[in-house]
Amino acid sequence: MPIVAFRIGAQPFFTYSLFVAAGLLAAALSLAFEARRRGWPPAHALELLALTSAGAAAAGRLGCTLILGPDEATGQWPLLRPWGDGLLFPGALSGAALGTLLFAAWRRRPFVEAAGVLLPALALAQAAGWAGAAIHGAWAGMALPMARWAPHLRDLYGVVLPRIPLQHLAAALSLITWLGLLRACRSDLQRLAAYAVLTGWGLLGLAWFRDGRQPILGALSAEQIGYLALGLAGATLAPKALGRRAARGTPLPIGSGRS
Protein backbone atom coordinates (compact mmCIF):
# COMPACT_ATOMS: atom_id res chain seq x y z
CA MET A 1 0.00 0.00 0.00
CA PRO A 2 1.20 3.56 -0.65
CA ILE A 3 2.46 5.67 2.24
CA VAL A 4 0.34 8.63 1.09
CA ALA A 5 -3.29 7.59 0.71
CA PHE A 6 -4.42 10.79 -1.04
CA ARG A 7 -3.80 14.51 -1.15
CA ILE A 8 -6.02 17.49 -0.49
CA GLY A 9 -4.30 20.11 -2.58
CA ALA A 10 -0.66 20.00 -1.54
CA GLN A 11 -1.44 18.45 1.86
CA PRO A 12 -0.74 14.69 2.00
CA PHE A 13 -2.99 12.36 3.98
CA PHE A 14 -0.97 9.35 5.05
CA THR A 15 -2.24 5.78 4.96
CA TYR A 16 -1.06 5.45 8.56
CA SER A 17 -3.56 8.16 9.50
CA LEU A 18 -6.34 6.13 7.86
CA PHE A 19 -5.43 3.13 10.00
CA VAL A 20 -5.37 5.29 13.13
CA ALA A 21 -8.81 6.67 12.25
CA ALA A 22 -10.08 3.13 11.64
CA GLY A 23 -8.66 2.08 15.01
CA LEU A 24 -10.43 4.94 16.79
CA LEU A 25 -13.69 4.04 15.08
CA ALA A 26 -13.32 0.38 16.09
CA ALA A 27 -12.52 1.47 19.65
CA ALA A 28 -15.61 3.71 19.76
CA LEU A 29 -17.86 0.90 18.54
CA SER A 30 -16.34 -1.53 21.04
CA LEU A 31 -16.81 0.93 23.91
CA ALA A 32 -20.40 1.62 22.88
CA PHE A 33 -21.18 -2.11 22.71
CA GLU A 34 -19.53 -2.83 26.06
CA ALA A 35 -21.20 0.13 27.77
CA ARG A 36 -24.63 -0.91 26.48
CA ARG A 37 -24.12 -4.44 27.70
CA ARG A 38 -23.35 -3.16 31.18
CA GLY A 39 -26.20 -0.66 31.24
CA TRP A 40 -24.01 2.43 31.06
CA PRO A 41 -25.44 5.63 29.54
CA PRO A 42 -24.10 6.08 25.98
CA ALA A 43 -22.48 9.37 26.97
CA HIS A 44 -20.21 7.54 29.42
CA ALA A 45 -18.64 5.53 26.62
CA LEU A 46 -17.89 8.73 24.70
CA GLU A 47 -16.43 10.37 27.80
CA LEU A 48 -14.16 7.41 28.44
CA LEU A 49 -13.02 7.42 24.82
CA ALA A 50 -12.34 11.17 24.85
CA LEU A 51 -10.39 11.17 28.12
CA THR A 52 -8.26 8.15 27.27
CA SER A 53 -7.58 9.22 23.67
CA ALA A 54 -6.50 12.71 24.73
CA GLY A 55 -4.32 11.34 27.51
CA ALA A 56 -2.73 8.75 25.24
CA ALA A 57 -1.95 11.29 22.51
CA ALA A 58 -0.45 13.84 24.92
CA ALA A 59 1.59 11.44 27.04
CA GLY A 60 2.70 9.35 24.08
CA ARG A 61 3.94 12.39 22.19
CA LEU A 62 5.64 13.78 25.30
CA GLY A 63 7.42 10.49 25.96
CA CYS A 64 8.61 10.26 22.37
CA THR A 65 9.89 13.84 22.44
CA LEU A 66 11.77 13.37 25.71
CA ILE A 67 13.51 10.25 24.42
CA LEU A 68 14.47 11.73 21.05
CA GLY A 69 15.61 15.01 22.55
CA PRO A 70 15.66 18.45 20.92
CA ASP A 71 15.72 18.95 17.18
CA GLU A 72 19.28 18.64 15.90
CA ALA A 73 18.91 21.54 13.49
CA THR A 74 17.15 24.07 15.73
CA GLY A 75 17.93 22.78 19.22
CA GLN A 76 14.27 23.23 20.17
CA TRP A 77 12.05 20.74 21.94
CA PRO A 78 8.96 20.12 19.75
CA LEU A 79 6.69 19.52 22.74
CA LEU A 80 3.72 21.32 21.21
CA ARG A 81 3.96 19.67 17.78
CA PRO A 82 1.45 16.78 17.62
CA TRP A 83 2.95 15.31 14.47
CA GLY A 84 6.38 14.21 13.24
CA ASP A 85 8.16 11.45 15.08
CA GLY A 86 5.22 9.48 16.41
CA LEU A 87 4.26 8.32 19.89
CA LEU A 88 5.95 6.29 22.60
CA PHE A 89 3.63 3.37 23.33
CA PRO A 90 4.37 3.04 27.09
CA GLY A 91 3.81 6.80 27.43
CA ALA A 92 0.55 6.60 25.49
CA LEU A 93 -0.60 3.71 27.67
CA SER A 94 0.21 5.73 30.81
CA GLY A 95 -1.86 8.61 29.44
CA ALA A 96 -4.77 6.26 28.72
CA ALA A 97 -4.53 4.91 32.28
CA LEU A 98 -4.64 8.45 33.64
CA GLY A 99 -7.69 9.18 31.50
CA THR A 100 -9.35 6.06 32.88
CA LEU A 101 -8.59 7.18 36.44
CA LEU A 102 -10.13 10.58 35.75
CA PHE A 103 -13.24 8.98 34.27
CA ALA A 104 -13.57 6.59 37.22
CA ALA A 105 -13.28 9.43 39.71
CA TRP A 106 -15.68 11.65 37.78
CA ARG A 107 -18.37 9.02 37.31
CA ARG A 108 -17.69 7.31 40.63
CA ARG A 109 -17.02 3.93 39.11
CA PRO A 110 -14.29 1.48 40.11
CA PHE A 111 -11.11 1.88 38.09
CA VAL A 112 -11.00 -1.85 37.37
CA GLU A 113 -14.52 -1.72 35.91
CA ALA A 114 -13.65 1.23 33.68
CA ALA A 115 -10.46 -0.52 32.57
CA GLY A 116 -12.42 -3.69 31.81
CA VAL A 117 -14.67 -1.70 29.47
CA LEU A 118 -11.74 0.06 27.81
CA LEU A 119 -9.23 -2.74 27.25
CA PRO A 120 -10.93 -4.62 24.36
CA ALA A 121 -11.34 -1.30 22.55
CA LEU A 122 -7.70 -0.45 23.25
CA ALA A 123 -6.50 -3.78 21.85
CA LEU A 124 -8.45 -3.18 18.62
CA ALA A 125 -7.02 0.30 18.27
CA GLN A 126 -3.52 -1.05 18.83
CA ALA A 127 -3.95 -3.64 16.07
CA ALA A 128 -4.93 -0.92 13.60
CA GLY A 129 -2.06 1.28 14.72
CA TRP A 130 0.52 -1.48 14.30
CA ALA A 131 -0.83 -2.27 10.83
CA GLY A 132 -0.47 1.38 9.89
CA ALA A 133 3.07 1.43 11.31
CA ALA A 134 3.99 -1.46 9.02
CA ILE A 135 2.98 0.58 5.98
CA HIS A 136 4.70 3.73 7.20
CA GLY A 137 7.89 1.90 8.22
CA ALA A 138 7.80 2.85 11.91
CA TRP A 139 9.09 0.28 14.42
CA ALA A 140 10.73 -1.69 11.60
CA GLY A 141 12.45 -4.92 12.59
CA MET A 142 16.10 -5.81 12.24
CA ALA A 143 17.36 -6.13 8.68
CA LEU A 144 18.29 -9.68 7.68
CA PRO A 145 19.87 -9.30 4.23
CA MET A 146 20.75 -13.00 3.89
CA ALA A 147 17.44 -14.41 5.16
CA ARG A 148 15.37 -15.69 2.26
CA TRP A 149 12.36 -16.34 4.48
CA ALA A 150 12.08 -12.73 5.70
CA PRO A 151 9.61 -10.43 3.89
CA HIS A 152 10.94 -7.31 2.21
CA LEU A 153 9.77 -4.38 4.33
CA ARG A 154 10.64 -0.69 4.44
CA ASP A 155 11.88 1.22 7.43
CA LEU A 156 11.03 4.78 8.39
CA TYR A 157 13.62 6.08 5.93
CA GLY A 158 12.28 4.13 2.96
CA VAL A 159 15.00 1.45 2.91
CA VAL A 160 13.48 -1.86 1.79
CA LEU A 161 15.28 -4.98 3.07
CA PRO A 162 14.37 -8.45 4.34
CA ARG A 163 13.23 -7.82 7.91
CA ILE A 164 11.57 -9.46 10.86
CA PRO A 165 7.90 -8.39 10.47
CA LEU A 166 7.64 -6.86 13.92
CA GLN A 167 4.70 -4.57 13.21
CA HIS A 168 2.67 -7.44 11.74
CA LEU A 169 3.51 -9.62 14.75
CA ALA A 170 2.54 -6.78 17.11
CA ALA A 171 -0.78 -6.36 15.28
CA ALA A 172 -1.41 -10.10 15.56
CA LEU A 173 -0.54 -9.95 19.27
CA SER A 174 -3.09 -7.16 19.76
CA LEU A 175 -5.81 -9.18 18.00
CA ILE A 176 -4.98 -12.27 20.08
CA THR A 177 -5.17 -10.10 23.20
CA TRP A 178 -8.54 -8.69 22.11
CA LEU A 179 -9.92 -12.17 21.50
CA GLY A 180 -8.59 -13.43 24.83
CA LEU A 181 -10.15 -10.53 26.72
CA LEU A 182 -13.56 -11.30 25.23
CA ARG A 183 -13.48 -15.09 25.27
CA ALA A 184 -11.34 -16.17 28.20
CA CYS A 185 -11.68 -13.49 30.89
CA ARG A 186 -14.55 -13.76 33.34
CA SER A 187 -13.95 -10.57 35.34
CA ASP A 188 -12.62 -7.09 34.78
CA LEU A 189 -9.62 -7.85 36.96
CA GLN A 190 -8.82 -10.83 34.75
CA ARG A 191 -9.03 -8.56 31.71
CA LEU A 192 -6.63 -6.10 33.31
CA ALA A 193 -4.12 -8.82 34.24
CA ALA A 194 -4.37 -10.59 30.87
CA TYR A 195 -3.90 -7.39 28.91
CA ALA A 196 -0.85 -6.39 30.94
CA VAL A 197 0.77 -9.83 30.69
CA LEU A 198 0.15 -10.35 26.97
CA THR A 199 0.95 -6.80 25.87
CA GLY A 200 3.84 -6.16 28.23
CA TRP A 201 5.76 -9.41 27.79
CA GLY A 202 4.78 -9.76 24.13
CA LEU A 203 5.99 -6.32 23.09
CA LEU A 204 9.08 -6.64 25.27
CA GLY A 205 10.06 -9.76 23.35
CA LEU A 206 9.33 -8.19 19.98
CA ALA A 207 11.16 -4.96 20.84
CA TRP A 208 14.34 -6.96 21.41
CA PHE A 209 14.42 -7.75 17.69
CA ARG A 210 14.26 -4.03 16.98
CA ASP A 211 16.38 -2.42 19.68
CA GLY A 212 18.70 -5.22 20.76
CA ARG A 213 20.83 -4.45 23.82
CA GLN A 214 20.57 -0.88 25.06
CA PRO A 215 22.85 0.88 27.57
CA ILE A 216 20.10 2.41 29.72
CA LEU A 217 19.13 -0.11 32.39
CA GLY A 218 19.95 -3.80 32.33
CA ALA A 219 20.61 -3.65 28.55
CA LEU A 220 17.04 -2.39 28.01
CA SER A 221 15.85 0.71 26.19
CA ALA A 222 13.43 3.16 27.78
CA GLU A 223 10.62 1.67 25.71
CA GLN A 224 11.54 -1.86 26.76
CA ILE A 225 11.57 -0.78 30.41
CA GLY A 226 7.98 0.39 29.96
CA TYR A 227 6.97 -2.97 28.52
CA LEU A 228 8.76 -4.78 31.33
CA ALA A 229 6.94 -2.71 33.95
CA LEU A 230 3.60 -3.50 32.31
CA GLY A 231 4.37 -7.21 32.16
CA LEU A 232 5.47 -7.30 35.81
CA ALA A 233 2.29 -5.46 36.85
CA GLY A 234 0.22 -8.05 35.01
CA ALA A 235 2.13 -10.92 36.60
CA THR A 236 1.49 -9.37 40.03
CA LEU A 237 -2.25 -9.10 39.35
CA ALA A 238 -2.60 -12.56 37.81
CA PRO A 239 -2.77 -14.66 41.04
CA LYS A 240 -5.50 -12.42 42.47
CA ALA A 241 -7.35 -12.26 39.16
CA LEU A 242 -7.43 -16.03 38.87
CA GLY A 243 -8.67 -16.51 42.43
CA ARG A 244 -12.23 -17.51 43.16
CA ARG A 245 -13.03 -14.27 44.96
CA ALA A 246 -11.95 -12.18 41.97
CA ALA A 247 -14.07 -14.27 39.62
CA ARG A 248 -17.10 -13.84 41.88
CA GLY A 249 -16.46 -10.30 43.05
CA THR A 250 -16.16 -8.43 39.75
CA PRO A 251 -17.99 -10.57 37.21
CA LEU A 252 -18.64 -9.41 33.70
CA PRO A 253 -22.24 -9.07 32.53
CA ILE A 254 -23.92 -12.20 31.23
CA GLY A 255 -22.51 -13.11 27.84
CA SER A 256 -19.69 -10.54 27.89
CA GLY A 257 -17.03 -13.21 28.18
CA ARG A 258 -18.45 -15.22 25.28
CA SER A 259 -19.10 -12.70 22.53
- Which H, E and C letters describe 89-126, residue by residue? HHHHHHHHHHHHHHHHHHHCCCHHHHHHHHHHHHHHHH
Q: Collect all residues with Cβ–Cβ distance below 8 Å to 49 and sequence separation of at least 6.
A: 24, 27, 28, 31, 121
The predicted structure's pLDDT at residue 258: 41
Cα 112 to Cα 193: distance, rounded to the nearest angstrom: 10
Q: How far apart are CA 177 and CA 231, in angstroms?
A: 13
Q: What is the pLDDT of residue 4?
A: 73
Alpha-carbon distance 188 to 190, whole Å? 5
CB 76 within 8 A of CB 70: yes
Q: Report the alpha-carbon distance of residue 60 to residue 87 in Å, rounded.
A: 5
Return contacts of 22-25, CB within 8 angstroms, 24+ apart: 22/128, 23/124, 23/125, 23/126, 23/127, 23/128, 23/129, 23/132, 24/49, 24/53, 24/125
Distance of alpha carbon 5 from alpha carbon 32, whole angstroms: 29
Q: Which residues pair with 220 in a beta bridge?
A: 217
Cα within 13 Å of Cα(191), Cβ side: 26
For residue 17, give the DSSP letter. H
Assessment of whether the complete model's pTM goes beyond 0.85:
no
**pLDDT recorded at residue 104:** 96
pLDDT at 80: 52
DSSP-derived secondary structure letter, 137:
T
Task: Please answer whether residues 142 and 163 qualify as being in contact, where contact means their C-beta atoms are separated by less than 8 angstroms.
Answer: yes
What is the Cα gyration radius of the chain?
19
Q: So what's the pLDDT on residue 250? A: 54
> Which stretches in the chain have pLDDT values below 50?
82-84, 215, 245-249, 254-259
Specify the DSSP class assigned to residue 220.
Answer: B
What is the pLDDT, as a whole number, of residue 256? 45
Q: Residue 139's pLDDT is what?
A: 74
The Cα 124–Cα 30 span in angstroms is 8
